Structure 1
């Protein structure tokens, strides 16, 4: 079938009261200058012996392989301060001059916050309104259980602050092979106990997925016979190495990684995965599960109060993650919700303080009915995906994205931006394709035929520098690489890599319009948020700070868009 030329419209809508131009570029960013730690990631071609030689020669301690193939190694130097505002130039020079070193990077502190909302704790199935048929429509999980599907044989790992593995509602399903502590580098992911119970997040998320059923205690998990693991990685120094190792744990054993964290949801931070974490995602989807691809389920973020936008979060807007948003019991947009084009689907969570919330396991062998935020939504989706994998274990990571799109429905979800896209599906920046229906997901998974091999078509839209106007359209007629080796038959993902200059990124709106008129907002105006402390990163994820007053030039990212186009 010949593809007719199509037009991609890149719309740059800017407030009329903007100051002179400043820079804008693709990449992650943080509102703080990078803090360097005493560890390095190094790539060498000849494996362990070469890494040992480097360690002995320059005084490092070789902490072992980062990935199983033995090319990337984690080195630490005891003679370097634990944290510093500047990199260690001496070791940088040594590693740069060594001909056997292909790549290296001194690790920096990565600030990651748990996407939970500070609410009190409390406990049972009768309280699990989102799946006990108390309301209609709910997540339609009872229909799946009636088919005898409970997550049997599927392994889900929660990447967080640990998991209380001896909890009465978790121990029977706990999987030590799917667990590790990358904060202290030992096999025990038990959380660190404090007076404020700050490390309860992972245990709460785990209970939503696989709390044991029919044992007379607490509530029940969506996939209550799935194996559940926990990775402790948020309760200590967080680096690119830590994140990459967490996302790469046992990729042939673990089916689904559930993550309810990310860069700060403060309306200022534009940040994303580093070099190693991006490589972990790539390896996960290409090599995980015997080549079928690991499933990375991600909470979209809780920055609604700060006008945060999850398009500026490089984890949720990666094509390799399945981003999940929230709705309240009444089908309204929660106050913490972030609207963005990268969200694919939605499950339930809380609204205002008096609304019912999510029931799950809690620290000290307790239960709670006060789990909230998109943190609570992502594990529900992970459990539902586990049910789909049980009925069809051969689904690829791309298959699951197609299925989630088709199994999500607008239902009773209220939003002002529902639109019908070019293939007749309703889509919203608040909810993606709507409320995920477990029964429909499983029914579709049972007879799903594998998607074709993924192809990529790269097209340059702007070749020369172009002045930015207050309202600007950038049209491009393309044929999706038709009649070429990488010709596209049907569209799954669109990634926009854009570099432009402007003085205040909060005054900038960037949108992509498809040939059939579907408009996806890539960057939204955030004029209510002061952005003068922003320090953003280049496309490689390396820090290049640009702090200053609002008139100073700043950089912003509009990359990795997973637009409203699958299906």
Structure 2
């Protein structure tokens, strides 16, 4: 328990802690400048060794994104060392900060590429997620906008298109402007979207849990032999895309399982903080993360996306117990059914206007169901803050006799039963919308700091400690 607590602080406290240098240098740079005029009009002209791409605002700070030009006379850009032109740029008086971005490998949270049936919605098994009860109470995610940050979205899929906001979709792959898949392998985003927002009662495939919600496709990833590479500024931009309107950012991806300590970069961490501070008119955007599929030999405490105070990490159950692929995971708040080869898979949409039921399992498919339940809760009470949603997930989830195959369930200091694998248990849509509709908001997030003097033999040192209070 002591070690788990220390890991939490690694990602949540803004002190001198850095993720290990992972990856190789890309041809992308990001910088800040003291100049206030539009960089589109001056950057390329004054810095011909670079090509301006765009800009990213995080709070009051503008970050300029560009790439290094590969000219015929220039030596090939090194993947191991910073490009010399970056240091030349850094020395200019108007440049406050510049960084050559490293390639970051991210994987979608899935185990198999196909899906089975609707047992998780139709009350065939018990306990259920109580989704039909929430529907019967009048909730379907109407008026809630969800950004699906993934490997693309088939925007004209007949079971999804009615709920897709085409105008505000975006892509970070291959210079594209729309989020439609660029490869036949890029079906993950379309599949998870179906679980959230497939249209109900149209005789096509399935109903999504939040079948009246609105989807904005954000194509951050793209499959290349099942490996997806991103850079920090693109992740940050994705986390803030259309922030003035998006309620929930859904993310079923993260660092490779079993890869050690890794998480969002400097800009992505700032973007998450900015999103919960300014999103939804100050109530805070909701960031949902899949907890990972590394099994009990892996631990999502080392995943800085799941292990952030600004996100809600969701894991999976199969019938009667935690899913076999679930990780030991203190950050995971709750679970939904995610499919399992040991009992039942799921069913959902796929690219080329398809519908498939053949082998999908993973926390990738639990997290969209959780996002949809949260969407119905926001429909029930649009005034809920990001912290309210976290509290509601904890208080309305329940053990439901699920077995934790790693260790026993325990009781925490707030008298809540929890599991090291399943968090606070299975989500309950009916209870969450009911309690959420009458919920009184919790106080704002606070950070407390203190100074401690430590004496060792004849040496005295002073340390500043801080901790975030949820």
Q: TM-score, normalised by structure 1?
A: 0.73
Tell me the CA shift for residue 10 of structure 1: 4.2
Q: Distance in 1 between matches of 2:171 and 2:97?
A: 26
What is the aligned partner in structure 2 of residue 264 from structure 1?
Answer: 256
2:445 to 454, 457, 480: 454
1:106 deviates by 0.5
Q: Which deviations, in whole Å up to 9, do the C-alpha atoms of 1:436-487 show, x marking residues without a partner?
A: 1011110111111112122111346784689xxxxxxxxxxxxx99xxxxxx
Which residue in the other structure is 2:389 paired with? 400
How has the CA–CA distance of structure 1 residues 342 and 454 changed in structure 2, closer, same or farther, with 3 Å as cutoff? same
Partner of 2:141: 151
Q: Which residue of 2 aligns with 1:225?
A: 212
Q: Residues 317-342 of structure 1, C-alpha deviation per residue, up to 9 Å, x if partnerless? A: 000000001110x2212221111211
| CA distance, structure 2, for counterparts of residue 98 and residue 346 of structure 1 | 51
Map of 1:215 onto structure 2: 202
Deviation at 1:48, TM superposition (A): 4.0
| Aligned: 1:255 with 2:247 | yes
- Specify the alignment match of 2:460 in structure 1: none
2:344 corresponding residue in structure 1: 356
Shift of 1:49: 3.7
- Quick one: distance in 1 between partners of 2:76 and 2:399? 50
Name the CA distance, whole Å, in 1 between partners of 2:167 and 2:274: 19
Contact 2:4 2:301 in 1 (8 A): no
Deviation of residue 313 (structure 1)? 0.5
The number of residues matched between the two structures is: 441
> Which structure ranks higher in relative contact order (CA pairs < 8 Å, sequence separation ≥ 6)?
1
Deviation of 1:87 (Å): 3.3
**CA 58–308 in structure 1, closer or farther in 2 if over 3 Å, else same:** same
Residue 68 of structure 2: aligned partner: 77
Q: Deviations over 1:481-513 (max 9, x none)?
A: 9xxxxxx9xx854xxxxxxxxxxxxxxxxxxxx
Q: Is 1:284 aligned with 2:275?
A: yes
> Unaligned stretches of 5+ in structure 2?
6-15, 223-227, 458-464
Cα deviation, residue 95, structure 1: 2.6
Distance 1:243 1:101 in 2: 23
The answer to whether the Cα contact below 8 Å between 2:26 and 2:103 also exists between their aligned partners in 1 is yes
Distance in 2 (CA, whole Å) between partners of 1:463 and 1:51 is: 52
1:527-538 → structure 2 map (5 Å cutoff): none
Say whether 1:200 aligns with 2:187: yes
Find 1:420's aligned residue among 404, 408, 411. Answer: 411
Residue 77 of structure 2 contacts residue 83 of structure 2 at CA under 8 Å; is this kept in 1?
no
Among candidates 81, 102, 112, match of residue 96 of structure 2: 102
TM-score, normalised to structure 2, is 0.88
Q: Which runs of 5+ in 1 are unaligned?
A: 1-8, 14-24, 467-479, 482-487, 494-567
CA RMSD of aligned residues (A): 2.6
